[in-house]
Amino acid sequence: MAGKTSCEFCAYYNYNEAYDDYECAVNLDEDDLARFMSGNDSNCAYFRFSDDYKIVEKQN
């Protein structure tokens, strides 16, 4: 994944039961949303790798 990010691995990619679909939980501004919708920018500035081990570590 050199230089590219994938929504499936992002900590902000959550399942929405009401829509029965996954969505990004980050509130994007107008410019970021336009870049995302155009598909020209493959890197997300808000991407954070979802690390389940780190989450459990904070709970202990």
Digitized pLDDT (tens) for each residue of the chain, 60 residues in all: 344 557 778 888 889 999 999 888 888 889 888 887 787 666 777 888 877 666 555 555
Q: Residue 30 and residue 38: Cα distance in Å, rounded? A: 12
Domain contains 37:
yes
Query: Do residues 26 and 12 lie in contact, with contact meaning Cβ atoms separated by under 8 Å?
Result: yes
The residue segments making up the domain with residue 46 are: 7-59
Domain contains 2:
no
Total domains in the chain come to 1
Domain contains 22:
yes
pLDDT recorded at residue 54 = 62
